[in-house]
Chains A and B, each alone.
Chain A
Amino acid sequence: MSHPLEQLREDALREIESESDEKSLDAVRVRYLGRNGSISAWGEKMKTLSAAERPVIGKLLNEVRNAVTAALDARSEEFRAQKESESLGRIDISLPGATGASGYSGYSEYSGFSTPLTGYSGFVPLERGSLHPLTQMLERSIEIFRRMGFALADGPDIEDEWHCFDALNTPPEHPARNEQDTFFLRDGRLLRTHTSTVQIRAMQAAPPPIRVIAPGAAYRRDELDATHSPQFHQIEGLYVDENVSVADLKGALEFFMRELFGPDTAVQFRPHFFPFTEPSLEVYVKSKALKGGEQWIEVAGSGVVHPAVFEQVNEARGDKAYDPEKWSGYAFGLGMDRLAMILFDIPDIRLFAQNDLRFLRQFA
């Protein structure tokens, strides 16, 4: 035979289900759980039970109380949602949107149902919006490169191993092929670890000469800290033409850095190693505007495109368009987050993705 408490639970749940508004639901709550409610009354009754019964009934009482409370809350939530969408249901969404300060949307040579018409001014001009500092950094960089004759190129964030490694002269088991730093999808594809993948895509798509930059996201399996983020932003550059040299590369990046950091910027190129360029150079700048001009700051990787990269591209294209004896090129990669941190004196890379308005407004 079921315990009276179990019976109470059954009754309560049934009543909760059958009530149709908040008010009657409140009445149910009072009836069962109020100070004189029939479930609450059992709290008093506990005192009269034997020591053997008490823990068993105590446990049951708790269960019943919790079950009924949960059912009441859920039902009340339902009413709230219902009420919310009912009141919202009366709103006529076809009314014109608030169009901002100007208030005038031009002629209405009526062409459809939604011709925007003048409404009140919703966003008063006192509130300004702002561009994200990374966007500003990207826009500024793109503007400089465009002045130098570069067009934009684009490629996917999700890549295959060939575009990310093999085509860039980093075959399997190459010490620079850092799969441990790479995010993989379950289908075997990966998130590009650098925007250099767009070099390959641009060359696959068109024969030389080619002069492109590719802004975009890149991903590395790094722990998030003040200077590392698993997703960051780069601008890749590629120029392939006849007789492109280290001197051309230096001239281009020196120009860029001076445009960006000011004419007194000193630029230094230090030999380095990247599998897909030979020679490879790391780029450092020193400028009064940056940390008092005390130290060389690393800002980019660059180099002359390795002939093995051209050979891989030719193989994929099925022609000899990128004949390493005829064409040469330079490539570079700039870390946008890092450049923005340097230029705007931002101490922590995490601020970019947090998007605190107090941060964003500083760059409005």
Chain B
Amino acid sequence: MKFSINWLREFVGLPKNPEETADLLTRAGVETENIETRGSKIDNVIVSQITASSRHPNADRLTVCEVDDGSGTKRQIVCGAKNYKVGDKVALALPGAKLPNGLEIRKSKLRGVESEGMLCSPIELGLGEDASGLLILSPEAKIGVPISDLFPSDTILDVEITPNRGDLLSHFGLAREIAALTRKKLKSMPPESKVPIRKTGVTITSTRECPFFSLRRIDQVTVGPSPQWLRAKIESVGIRSISNIVDISNFVMLELGQPTHAFDADKLKGAINVRFARDGEKFLALDGKTYSLKPDNCVVADEERAVGIGGVMGGEETGVTDSTKNILLEAAYFLPASIRHTARELNLPSDASYRFERGVDPGMIFRASARVTELIREIAGGTPAKEIQAAGKLPANPPDVSLSYEKCDRVVGVAIKPKTVDGILTGFGLSKSKRTSKSANWKIPGYRRDLQRDVDLIEEVVRAYGADKIPGTDRSRVMPSSAADRSHDIESTLRERLVAHGLSEVRTSKLIPRNAPAFSENAIVLQNPLSEDHVALRPSLLSGLLGVFERNLRAGAERVALFELGRVFAPPDVREERRAGFLVWGKRVSDPHWRAADQGRLDFFDLKGAVESVFPDKLSFQRSTHPSLSMAAEIYDNNQLIGIAGQLSTLSLKIDAPGGVFVAELSLDLPIKGLGSRATFREFGKFPAIIRDIAMIVSEELTHEKILKVIFHENPSWLERVEFFDQFVGEEAARRFGPKKKSLAYRLTYRDRSRTLTSEEVTAAHARIRERLQRELGAELRE
């Protein structure tokens, strides 16, 4: 909410520099978001009256105005605004004026027509944010008078009021808070109303939602524009001037925090009742829109229809207009939760609902009614009724709260003298009803319904005492590591391994677009997405990785090797699962380097190597099919399926990528359990190894896996390692070795743990393996 420093000063003394006030509030939890100076440095801008207006001969959007500046001769001004009529008083910047925004005004020709000055909008004069049209002044403003006389310079604070502090949503309320924080006395209090109250003429059916409702009749008012001071005051804090009656109601709301509403009494039929709306009841509100109401909305109604949504907005048909003569002034209390519910259900937030839903001060209702009445009598004339008609009961005072000084010290962490605590709480308007040396009972003022238990009072103590004065303590406690600790550590290890492997970690959004790339089928859709880019929960990491790939490809990347560890939401029951996703594409080495000749392109075995680096010695790959992959493998951990890998089919890419794009995804929930187990030492071989190679020509379909199986079938305990180190496949191989043939080479290392092997026994074992390869696989061995 915006606060005028001048207005606050009517209630409490403030330091000369408004920054100090802003800082004081911010440090006490009432954050000042912006400070703005208004109305200073407006020289050579005067009140003038538009006496005639005609179309600009050369420009449709401009008009040529004849303006009376009080000098006796009329000025001709070219103007682009539309919001004025002839007779309006407006701000005229004379040639030579320098506006707060830096603009210098000169006599000039605009599209061929002479303009002797400029008519100004509020924003041009630094008097508000309104840039939509001219600043229209009150008709009573004297022509020729400097604008600075009408708008005394002021500073506007934009303050964030937290939802628990409805009592600060008025100038009086904030002044009261400043007084408490600075231990000053308020300059003035809104006077108590002395008008008698009669329980007649009004009834309440929805007594829970509207505990109290009052009306005061004021006859023979004259509706018209507001005087300049009133207009300037509400406009300075961002409320548009409408008419004197409406402006007064808004003014009092800004001053005292209590919203009021004026009905045109002659448009009401019969007595007022506050009731629930009928289901589907139509209501035309002051904002010009028709709302369809629900039975839990509370309305103010006459005998025929709803004339206001209680605490939210009045009705268009019964509002004050220029021809209104007699008014009924509403001042009421509504249940905060009900107001909030209605305003949100109808999507109709208003200045009134904003205050009612945060809780207004019941003690302010009659004061506000009296203040509005008094101002109306002053400004719009009229005769107020001798009595206020009312129904219901004002909410009771909030219950007392007991605070132990020891508890206060305990929660704050420093000892604060009981006298200091008492001083702070008394400053906030609380009063002590019962006191021992250890604790006191505090009576809570009606405007502080947020103070419900001892910790709420302790917070007030901290705010006024100053959080800065509480020294930090280094209090510790150690905790054993949890399951979450362990899985975090394992994932950190995985990340390190993959980074060392040359992959870059990415973190993609868990919310994916409606038209995500492949791997987003059956994603769970949000009920209320905000944009098309964040519509569903990702069922796989791969859709995000594909998006990242495409982005980088477009940016000219030549090598994209990515991984992501993160949560996915697996359909159909949206189970949250940790997964690892991989994508590799492009050159093995992206930049030329003297030690790296052309290394070719990343392929499936680079992907496989990356996946295996995460879970060494655990995984196996089996051929499979997948709709988005032109080559697919299932990944198994023992016999458990934990993921997929493969080459993306060109159809599932939105962008042309030369060469294959390889992706893999696996669940971390399963294999992770076996990770992190510690390695144990094994004696390394002390005796010499004997190494023998086997080169063979086999059928193209024969797999590495089958060959290993045959080699290890013999399984002499001293066959230490088998390494696959060369292959020759493709058309050239077929030409040399026959159709559908390939050549493979393996290195076998023989070593016993306890003795030196003899050449003869190795040769014999090796021969058995060779022979088995020939017999079982039809391998043609090469020498």
Give CA–CA (A117, B617) in the complex, Å: 10
Chain B positions 600 through 637: 1 when the CB is less than 8 Å from some CB of chain A, otherwise 0: 00101111111111001101110100000011010000
Q: Are B507 and A252 in contact (CB under 8 A)?
A: no
Count of B interface residues, CB-CB < 8 Å: 139
A187, chain B: closest CB distance, angstroms: 8
Which chain B residue lies CB-closest to A114? Answer: B620
Give CA–CA (A172, B340) in the complex, Å: 10
Most chain B beta carbons < 10 A, residue from A88, A94, A134, A209: A94
Q: Are B608 and A93 in contact (CB under 8 A)?
A: yes
Give CA–CA (A129, B476) in the complex, Å: 37
Which chain B residue lies CB-closest to A134? Answer: B507
Q: Interface on chain B toward A: helix, strand, loop, or mixed SS? A: mixed
Residues 152-205 (chain A) with a chain B CB within 8 angstroms: 152-154, 156-158, 172-176, 179-180, 183-186, 191
Q: Are B612 and A97 in contact (CB under 8 A)?
A: yes
**Chain A interface residue number, banded:** 35 or more
B504 within 8 A of partner (CB): yes
Q: Are A219 and B506 in contact (CB under 8 A)?
A: no
Residues of B within 8 A of A123 (CB): 501-502, 561, 588, 606, 609-610
Q: Can you list 26 residue pairs at the A/B interface with Cβ under 8 Å?
A: A84-B649, A89-B631, A100-B500, A107-B682, A123-B502, A123-B561, A124-B596, A126-B596, A127-B559, A131-B499, A132-B507, A134-B507, A135-B505, A152-B484, A183-B528, A185-B526, A231-B509, A243-B410, A269-B468, A275-B164, A278-B456, A307-B453, A352-B507, A354-B551, A356-B555, A358-B555
B54 within 8 A of partner (CB): no
Which of A1-9, A47-55, A142-150, A285-293 contacts the other chain?
Answer: A142-150
Chain B positions 502 through 523: 1 when the CB is less than 8 Å from some CB of chain A, otherwise 0: 1111111111000000000000
Residues 679-722 (chain B) with a chain A CB within 8 angstroms: 682, 700-705, 708-709, 712, 715, 720-722
B576 within 8 A of partner (CB): yes
B525 within 8 A of partner (CB): yes
Residues of A within 8 A of B701 (CB): 90
Q: Are B651 and A118 in contact (CB under 8 A)?
A: no
Known: A100-B502, A132-B506, A273-B164. A230 touches B588 (CB 8 A): no
Give CA–CA (A131, B564) in the complex, Å: 10
Known: A77-B651, A270-B26. A124 touches B709 (CB 8 A): no
Give CA–CA (A210, B560) in the complex, Å: 43
Q: Are B607 and A247 in contact (CB under 8 A)?
A: no
Give CA–CA (A275, B455) in the complex, Å: 12
B669 within 8 A of partner (CB): no
Q: Are B29 and A99 in contact (CB under 8 A)?
A: no
Which chain B residue lies CB-closest to A240? Answer: B477
Give CA–CA (A84, B646) in the complex, Å: 13
B residues whose Cβ falls under 8 Å from a Cβ of A: 26-29, 31, 162-165, 336-338, 340-341, 344, 357-358, 410-414, 453, 455-456, 458-459, 462-463, 467-468, 470-485, 487-488, 492, 495, 498-511, 524-531, 533-534, 537, 548, 551-552, 555, 557, 559-562, 567, 569, 574, 576, 588-590, 593, 595-596, 599, 602, 604-613, 616-617, 619-621, 623, 630-631, 633, 647, 649-651, 682, 700-705, 708-709, 712, 715, 720-725, 727, 729
Q: Are A248 and B475 in contact (CB under 8 A)?
A: yes
**B358 touches which one: A118, A175, A253 (CB < 8 A)?**
A175
Give CA–CA (A354, B547) in the complex, Å: 9
Q: Are A251 and B474 in contact (CB under 8 A)?
A: yes
Which chain A residue lies CB-closest to B506? Answer: A355
B745, chain A: closest CB distance, angstroms: 12
Residues of A within 8 A of B525 (CB): 186
**A127 touches which one: B338, B413, B529, B590 (CB < 8 A)?**
B590
A88, chain B: closest CB distance, angstroms: 4
**B499 touches which one: A129, A158, A271, A278 (CB < 8 A)?**
A129
Known: A180-B344, A271-B467, A357-B557. A94 touches B480 (CB 8 A): no
Give CA–CA (A116, B708) in the complex, Å: 11
Q: Are A271 and B508 in contact (CB under 8 A)?
A: no
Kindly list the 9 A-B residue pairs having the minimum CB-CB distance in the complex, ordered from nearest: A247-B413, A245-B413, A271-B29, A97-B608, A97-B609, A251-B472, A273-B162, A175-B163, A123-B502
Q: Are B560 and A357 in contact (CB under 8 A)?
A: yes
**A355 touches which one: B411, B551, B599, B650 (CB < 8 A)?**
B551
A81 within 8 A of partner (CB): yes
B198, chain A: closest CB distance, angstroms: 33
Residues of B within 8 A of A183 (CB): 511, 526-529
Known: A81-B651, A131-B505, A353-B507. A91 touches B604 (CB 8 A): yes
**A151 touches which one: B26, B473, B485, B715 (CB < 8 A)?**
B485
Q: Are A149 and B613 in contact (CB under 8 A)?
A: no
Q: Are A95 and B467 in contact (CB under 8 A)?
A: no
Q: Are B724 and A246 in contact (CB under 8 A)?
A: no
B595, chain A: closest CB distance, angstroms: 7
Q: Are B413 and A85 in contact (CB under 8 A)?
A: no
Residues of B within 8 A of A307 (CB): 453, 455
**A217 touches which one: B467, B468, B510, B593 (CB < 8 A)?**
B510
B170, chain A: closest CB distance, angstroms: 17
Known: A247-B471, A271-B459. A355 touches B507 (CB 8 A): yes
Give CA–CA (A212, B619) in the complex, Å: 34
A179, chain B: closest CB distance, angstroms: 8
Which chain B residue lies CB-closest to A182? Answer: B528
Q: Are A96 and B724 in contact (CB under 8 A)?
A: yes
Q: Are B412 and A108 in contact (CB under 8 A)?
A: no
Q: Are B488 and A152 in contact (CB under 8 A)?
A: yes
Give CA–CA (A239, B576) in the complex, Å: 27
Residues 9-41 (chain A) with a chain B CB within 8 angstroms: none
A200, chain B: closest CB distance, angstroms: 15
Residues 306-364 (chain A) with a chain B CB within 8 angstroms: 306-307, 328, 352-358, 360-361, 364
Give CA–CA (A243, B599) in the complex, Å: 64
Give CA–CA (A128, B470) in the complex, Å: 48
